[in-house]
Amino acid sequence: MKNITALILCLACAVVAFLVLGFNYFALYQLLPIAIFYVFQLTVFKKINRSDTAAFICYILAGLILLVFPLTAQLMWYFDINNLASKSSTSGLLFVWLPIYAVLSGIIICSLAWIMSRKSGR
């Protein structure tokens, strides 16, 4: 993915996060997975070729974990799909733990892609 496409994708995810949570400091915390994806896009993923299948799969997984998973969860909470927001007394904890889960699993995938890109570069 080109850097401009990744930037537009990350900005779109950030806009949705701000629309769901409003403009506050807590919404900035929700941008952590998006920022990590963009940093890895600029450093590790721009070196990955599509011919390197394993690293490309890691790139797709990182995009799913760091961008799609948090975005989907936020939209499900906002639109109250499956009574996610109204039936649970602790539904707001989703926004506390979601960035942590996404970042930890995303960093593992991005680290694997970094290791694979270093080995293929030799």
Q: Report how many helices (DSSP H) and strands (DSSP E) the chain contains, helices first.
A: 6, 0
The structure tokens listed for 28 are 């900035």
**What pTM value is reported for the model?**
0.81
Domain that holds residue 109: 3-121
CA gap 43, 36 in Å, rounded: 11
Tens of pLDDT, residue by residue over 21-57, are: 788 787 888 889 988 988 888 888 777 766 778 878 8
Domain count for the chain, please give it.
1
Residue-wise pLDDT for 53-100, tens only, equals: 887 888 889 989 998 998 888 888 888 888 888 777 777 888 889 999
- Cβ–Cβ under 8 Å, residues 102 and 33: yes
Alpha carbon distance 92, 13 (integer Å): 19
